[in-house]
Amino acid sequence: MILQAAGVGVATLVVIVVVVIVGVFLLTSAVKILKEYERGVVFRLGRVYEGGARGPGLFFLVPLVNRMVKVDLRTVTMDVPPQDVITRDNVPARVTAVIYFRVVDPNKSVIEVEDYVQATSQISQTTLRSVLGKKELDDLLANREAINAELQSIIDEQTEPWGIKVSVIEVKDVEIPQQMQRAMSRQAESERERRAKIIAAEGEYQAADRLRQAADQLDTPTAVQLRLFQTISEISTEQNSTIILPVPIDLFQPFIDGIKPPSERAFPHEGTGEGQGG
């Protein structure tokens, strides 16, 4: 009898332990706590719970009836693997990019796509190759902001049915062959030389135009005299040396005419001829 009583006690104890373990398991599966940036998509017997995503905070699920899939609402930063593209002007390039996206509809992110992170990565790669293949290399290097906006618009439109919002996509680096880099360097150098020659020619043109305007102002002998005297004065202050300048006789013609008699001023050559003949 004692052995039978001991056996019944042990069996009862085992049953109690099993019931406690099952109870703890059911209680643990029934109580859920989600953080502020988390949401839970609840399935009740395989169907999405009509109340929508649960959380954040503490809530209860019916054990063995409800099942929850946790979704993170924080922005995901993902590097797009390097893509080999050929631009519109037949230049091979290797492009890397980074994409920022987040879940805006937890139910769609679980129901409409199996793995939204992998799906977003794949659609980003294909869109990157498609869009950059239609651009020329100069546009790819210069119009980076416009290309980023175009990529973001296309990818966001394709991920919207999955409940994913693509906020930003940035092209980080564009690698081109070394031969193409040397050709671009020579082109840039030639362009700088062309601009330098144009600027020098423009400067010479402006200087020649100013000289022409100055020559128009010096259209009288008196003005030419004043300019000559001014030049001599400037030279004399800068250098202590003897300077010999050939001076045209026409500059002194007004002074010569001033000391001649009135008859000789009017007809200088005729008056001299008459005097010699007499």
Helix 116-132, helix 144-159: angle, nearest 10: 140
Residue 45's Cβ-side half-sphere holds a number of Cα atoms within 13 Å equal to 0
Question: How many CA atoms lie within 13 Å of 132's alpha carbon, on the beta-carbon side?
Answer: 29
Q: What is the pLDDT of residues 59-104, one digit of tens each?
A: 888 887 888 889 999 999 999 999 888 888 888 888 999 999 999 9
Domain assignment of residue 278, yes or no: no
Q: Is the pLDDT of residue 272 over 50?
A: no
DSSP state of 163: T
Kindly report the CATH number assigned to the domain that includes residue 131.
3.30.479.30
Residue 94, in any domain of the structure: yes
Please tell me whether residues 83 and 142 are part of one structural domain. yes
Helix (H, G, I), strand (E, B) or coil at 260: coil
Mean pLDDT of the 252-261 span? 65
Final residue of a structural domain among 72, 91, 109: 72
Provide the pLDDT for residue 17. 80
CA gap 214, 173 in Å, rounded: 56
Contact in structure between 199 and 115 (CB atoms under 8 Å): no
Name the pairing type of β-strands 92-103 and 164-175.
antiparallel
Q: Residue range 180-190: average pLDDT? A: 71
Q: Which two tokens stand for residue 82?
A: 């390097």
**3-state class (DSSP) for residue 91:** coil
Distances (CA, A) of 66 to 122, 166, 253: 32, 31, 120
> What integer pLDDT is reported at residue 248 of this predicted model?
62
pLDDT of residue 275: 43
Question: pLDDT averaged over the chain?
Answer: 79
Choose the weakest-confidence range: 82-86, 185-189, 245-249: 245-249
Does some domain include residue 208?
Answer: no
Same domain, 171 and 245: no
The answer to whether position 214 is within a domain reads: no
Q: Is the pLDDT of residue 122 over 90?
A: yes
Sheet hosting strand 38-44, strand order edge to edge:
47-48, 38-44, 66-72
Q: What is the mean pLDDT of residues 118-124?
A: 93
| Each residue's pLDDT tens digit, 134-172 | 888 888 888 889 999 999 999 999 999 999 999 999 998
Where do we find the tokens 């000289």? Answer: 211
The number of folded domains in the chain is 3
- Closest by CA to 68, choosing from 42, 44, 93, is 42
Residue-range definition of the domain harbouring residue 60: 2-72
SS3 letters for 266-277?
HCHHHHHHHHHH
Give the dihedral of Cα atoms 205, 209, 210, 214; nearest 10 deg. 150
Q: Over 60: is that where the pLDDT of 266 sits?
A: no
> Please, which pLDDT band fits residue 253 given cuts at 50, 70 and 90?
low
Same domain, yes or no: 117 and 35: no
- The SS3 assignment for 78 reads strand
